[in-house]
Amino acid sequence: MNSFNPQEDFAASRDAMVERQLIARGIRDEAVLAAMRAVPRHAFVAPELRPFAYSDTPLPIANEQTISQPYIVARMIEAANVHEGDRVLEVGTGSGYAAAVLARIAAHVITIERDPELADSARATLASLGVTNVDVRCADGTLGWPAAAPFDVIVAAASGPVVPDAWREQLAIGGRIVMPVGGRHVGQRLMKLTRIACNRTDEQDLGLVYFVPLTGAQGWPQTPDV
C-alpha cells in the first residue's frame, strides 16, 4: 500500500498537466478537466515515482501493471460522456486513479480488478483520499457486475478481442461503453458503443491505442496459446 502524505499537494504540477497534456490535445469537457486537476495522481504511485507523477506517460505499479497516461484517462472519460448522476462500471482498476477521476463526476463507480493485491491497494488509496462513492471488487471484469446493472457508462483499461456480451446486456438504454478492441498486443482501436435500443447500438472508432490484454471468460485467455 502506498504511504500517502496529504501535505504533498503538487497542485501546480496538476495544473500544468491539464494545460499542456489535456487542453493542448483537445480535451474540452470541463467536468473532466476539473476532475483531473483535483485528483492527486501522485497518491497512486510508489513514493520514488512521485516526482514523475504528472509526466506525460504511463508509470509502473505492482505486478507488472501500469497507471495509464493522464491524457488517455481524460480522453476515455470524455468519450464516455460521463454525467453527474451516472452509474459507472470500470474494468481494470489498477492503481485506482481512473476510478477516482470518474468518482469526481459520476454518482457511483464500481471498479473491478482481477489481481487481489492491486484491488486491496487501490481500495486503501481511495479510502485514504476520502473517496466514498467507489466500490472496488476483485473478480472477472469481463462478466461485468450484474447485481448493480444497468450502468450508464462502462469503461475498460484493457483491450479485448470484442466487446463482452455481458457488458452490452448490463448497459442502460442510452448508455456508453468505451474500450480498446483488437489484437492481444497490436491493432487495437479505441471504440465507443452507445446503446440506442434493446438490440441496437451505435459504434464509433476513436483511433489507434495500445493497452494490456483484457483477460477473462469473455476476453483473452489468462495464459496465451504458444
Q: Which amino acids are annotated catalytic?
A: 68
In 10 A of CB 171, how many CB atoms?
Answer: 24
Question: Under a CB-based contact definition with an 8 Å cutoff, are residues 147 and 155 in contact?
Answer: no
Distance CA 42, CA 37 (A): 12
State how beta strands 134-138 and 108-113 pair. Answer: parallel
Question: Under a CB-based contact definition with an 8 Å cutoff, are residues 61 and 67 in contact?
Answer: yes
130: left (phi over 0), alpha (psi -120 to 50) or beta: left
Q: How far is CA 73 from CA 22, 39, 48, 88, 134, in A?
A: 10, 12, 22, 14, 17
When computed from its CA atoms, the radius of gyration of the chain, rounded to whole angstroms, is: 16
The HSE-up count of residue 79 (CA atoms within 13 Å, CB side) is: 23
